[in-house]
Structure 1
């Protein structure tokens, strides 16, 4: 039974690591529920201490799993284009201050693809990237 518990725990950790590495959300609930069931079975089979430890850790995973799995802190208020200087905007996008419109748009697309909230990125960072694009594009209009 101990070998089964270690194997299932290792499998759960591997699954969690692969999901985190790919940038997808980690389903904390199924890990916590599975661990709690395994811990309960272990306690009924005579491994009270180990089973209680597994069940306790799984319960903590159920409670705090989202924050342990990379849950997001509340994002700051979205920035408007006027809150960023041209130099800050260019630095954020990784372009020069005098970059062309096409360079700005290409840099924005590349960054937003990696940092969009739907792809596991931060809403605050996505707002800053959008504000940087707007700042640089508006500075070209004048």
Structure 2
């Protein structure tokens, strides 16, 4: 009974190690395009697209399977003649603004961009009034 239990336990633990993905690897995940100009466009775009799995790396630097799929998709679209900004717009539409390292300037984000300037100005006015107040006392 004990050898059967050990055998079944070993078989269950080996299952995940022996598992294979059903999907074939992305064709252009780690293979460059033949045209150097197209490959340069693809690499420039891939440097500005965030990996959905890693979240702190670009898809050009990530080894995650999702990043490989996106690299392949970008290379295939550029090989077909699509412009990088069109591909970026498609990715943003599909995954949201967060995927792009290139910030957007949507009107809803203007307060976010203006907040540091407003706070810096308020700090400057406060410092100036304190300095001026001390000079008047002295």
| TM-score bracket, shorter-length normalisation | under 0.3
Q: Which has the higher contact order (CA 8 A, sep 6+)?
A: 1
TM-score (norm. length: structure 2):
0.28
Over alpha carbons, which structure has the higher Rg?
2
What TM-score do the two structures reach when normalised by structure 1?
0.27
